[in-house]
Structure 1
């Protein structure tokens, strides 16, 4: 499935939030960001990742997997930088696959839509969602529709979606939380 452009941007910046491809070259900076707030990331991911014992070597394996998925055009993963330091990450998948990465059966939706989820330290969730949607709304991507994926353990992200007019919602109850995606109304203007 050719859902990604042939050439992906090496860098995108919006309002002081910078996106660069997540590669093994960012190992130490990414590891520091991941280990900085384990409870936040576990609430966001809905998993027991990362554990307090998570090592840089394990993180390297994750980064190699993300880099391989991007090269194979399976997923798109960008580090999010503030002031040149890694402070978060975004993950983009075809809509159906985004749900499967959470071990959930996806709601039925048009082919070509994508879901993005992400996390960021030191800036409000609304800034991350806004910058991410600006980045992925660029003509180079030509996604039919962008959905922000989160869960009910991340109320700031849900509020950010509401503030940005992402009011169309599809949700699925997981084992311990409600997973949802939000998008601009289909006949509305995103951002």
Structure 2
């Protein structure tokens, strides 16, 4: 079932010993901004863009989060903030995008093996802040995220997607049993993305 299917029940949160995920809100702007700016160098590689600029402000971030919150409420895509257990620090974000989203319209998608893009309904992206990378939170998040998607979501096929230039995340994913299924070249992006299932 696609992540945007109106019949799909959308989980409100994932709570673990290390963190919790809940839908991101515009009121999370300050916590999210701190995580984004701490991680801006590698997020530019992950995004394959100049975002976030060095002068990126909390106000500009709030505007971005308003858009993400609206998309979540409208069920067009889903963004979850990753918070420490007492919700005083943002550790990163998780995004679930339908594979028929406009961002893929002009993309060149190359299958690795005999895989069909149409067999997958959802593309999942995630990042954790730089200091959380140093403590292995990205691996814990990936493991918990995979279990959550399998247990609490009624999705059809889904893909874990990352930028090939963000080698730390590529290496993390490739140390699991996930297999490379597609290489994605988005219009206007200098490098490729890699999609695993």
Same-fold call, TM > 0.5? yes
In the TM superposition, what are the counterparts of 1:12-161 in structure 2 within 5 Å? 12-83=14-85, 84=87, 85-97=89-101, 99-100=103-104, 104-106=107-109, 109-110=117-118, 113-121=121-129, 122-123=132-133, 124=136, 125-139=138-152, 141-161=153-173
What is the CA distance between 1:163 and its match in structure 2? Answer: 2.1
Deviations 1:118-149 (A, max 9, x none): 1002143322221222222224x211112111
State the distance in 1 between where 2:177 and 2:103 align.
22
> How many positions carry a matched residue from both structures?
181
Asked if residue 176 in structure 1 is aligned to residue 190 in structure 2, the reply is: yes
What is the CA distance between 1:100 and its match in structure 2? Answer: 2.6
* Backbone CA RMSD of aligned residues: 2.3
Asked if residue 166 in structure 1 is aligned to residue 169 in structure 2, the reply is: no
> Are 1:112 and 1:143, in contact at CA under 8 Å, matched by a contact in 2?
no
What is the CA distance between 1:68 and its match in structure 2? Answer: 0.5
Judging changes above 3 Å, is the alpha-carbon distance between structure 1 residues 8 and 142 closer, same or farther for their aligned structure 2 residues?
closer
Q: TM-score, normalised by structure 1?
A: 0.83
Q: TM-score, normalised by structure 2?
A: 0.81
State the match for 1:189 in structure 2. none
- Gaps spanning 5+ residues in structure 2: where? 111-115
Deviations 1:33-73 (A, max 9, x none): 11112101111111110001111111111110001101111
- Gaps spanning 5+ residues in structure 1: where? 184-191
Judging changes above 3 Å, is the alpha-carbon distance between structure 1 residues 6 and 182 closer, same or farther for their aligned structure 2 residues?
closer
What is the CA distance between 1:157 and its match in structure 2? Answer: 1.6
What is the CA distance between 1:156 and its match in structure 2? Answer: 2.0
- State the SS of the aligned residue for 1:96: coil
